[in-house]
Amino acid sequence: MEKVIINEKLALFSEHWKPKIVGELNEQYVKLAKIKGEFVWHKHEKEDEMFYVLSGELKIELRDKVLTLNPNEFAIIPKGVEHRPVAIDEVSIMIIEPMSTLNTGDAESELTVKELDRI
């Protein structure tokens, strides 16, 4: 059992849209990611997904509205809801989701990460 120092973990990588595993609890991964630009529209049929903003401004586009998240704010995207994260400038986020969750859900693309690094 060790504490996780988020800023130290974030300093270990610079690539965007490549989540890193920093912990596990109850068959859920705790992931950190740096994102910039537009992701792909996608949904997760069986998993809810939580986005917690550590730094920057994250917009999560939904088909009927846009959620704007700032540092120390989070949103839970329910399973089956189509969404697209967008970050004009670099954003650091924590994601909590089931271990089975593929980052691009039902929309496999060049941004799909099947093998996650653990840091």
Total of domains in the chain: 1
96 alpha-carbon distance from chain centroid:
8
Which structural domain, as residue segments, surrounds residue 88? Answer: 6-111
| Residues 33, 96 contacting (CB under 8 angstroms) | no
Q: Please report the pLDDT score of residue 6 as a whole number.
A: 97
CATH number at residue 78: 2.60.120.10
Show pLDDT as tens, one digit a residue, over the chain (119 residues). 789 999 999 999 999 999 999 999 999 999 999 999 999 899 989 999 999 999 999 999 999 999 999 999 999 999 999 999 999 999 999 999 888 876 766 767 676 776 788 99
- The verdict on residue 65 lying in a domain is yes
Instruction: State the pLDDT at residue 79.
Output: 93
